[in-house]
Amino acid sequence: MKEMLANPVLVKEIKLRFRNAKSFVGILFYLLAMGIFVLGFIYLETSLGGNGFFRPDDSLLLFMMISFIQLGFILFITPGLTAGAISTEREKQTLNMLLTTSQTSFQIIFGKLTASVVFLLLLIVAGLPIYSLVFLYGGVSPGQVLGIMLFNFLTLFAFGSIGVMYSVLTRKTIVSMISTYGTMFFFAGVTAFFLLLSVQFNTLSAQGTGPLSPISYFWGSINPVIVLTSLLEPRMGQDFYEMTGIDFPLWISYTVFYLLLSAASVSLAVRRLRVNMHKYK
């Protein structure tokens, strides 16, 4: 573990990232956006809502909104941070020198991915004080917050892995970015559309009797927005189970799917980073 963290690429990437003013400006704007939203919401509820106080129900609503906003940030920022991990090195003509060092392909990919994930984690951790404002008014347990944090971490790790994979497979950062954002859009948006289609199809074919629908369940279980909703509002999760006929926690399916996807992405990136010198034999 110590050796993994003493990874030269990881150390270099973190050093470079924090010497860049853009990183701090990014964190600043993220916190400003979150802060304005939370304080604005509290202000609207307490002053303009006419109540003069903030109910635990409002607190839960705020928590849900913050969680969705944070998921949106993660889905939006992760591709931008990771999709250029290797392709930027290629474009800056530093990759060949890196590839002739003694570092293994896994070390290089691990260093690149971890550096991006660490920065995104910093973003999430930096937002915790804003998150914790909801505790002031009750309605949300620390366990719920921790659960959402772990969900966010898994999501950013998965999409980060996909971004790094594309940055290895494509020569240009712009192509890698488009591919990563496209993949993100597929999982976060298109799968919801597929879910709707499959539910409609199922309803029509079974004439509303509601048989088992594993395809609908699958599309729902890989959609981060739907899974986050099921975590924040368990009743909606229950509705989903009744609709699909599969009573299996969505978050477990989501975790297994994205862990496998991350492993496949990292594995492919590691194998394709260097040329396979054996291949022609």
Q: Interface with another protein by CB under 8 A: which residues?
A: 6, 8-9, 11-12, 15-16, 19-20, 92-94, 96-104, 274-281
CA distance 176 to 168: 8
CA distance 25 to 56: 33
Closest CB 106 distance from another protein, rounded Å: 12
Q: Alpha carbon of 125 to those of 80, 130, 150, 177, 247: distances in Å?
A: 19, 10, 12, 25, 33
CA distance 258 to 248: 16
Q: Residue 106 burial by CB count (10 A; 0-12/13-18/19+): exposed, middle or buried?
A: middle
> Based on CB atoms, which residue is closest to another protein, 46 or 88?
88
> Based on CB atoms, which residue is closest to another protein, 11 or 196?
11
> Based on CB atoms, which residue is closest to another protein, 23 or 46?
23
> Based on CB atoms, which residue is closest to another protein, 53 or 280?
280
Residues 6+ apart with CB under 8 A from 175: 87, 166
> Based on CB atoms, which residue is closest to another protein, 199 or 269?
269
Closest CB 90 distance from another protein, rounded Å: 10
- Number of other residues whose CB lies within 10 A of the CB of residue 99: 15
Closest CB 15 distance from another protein, rounded Å: 7
CA distance 279 to 281: 5
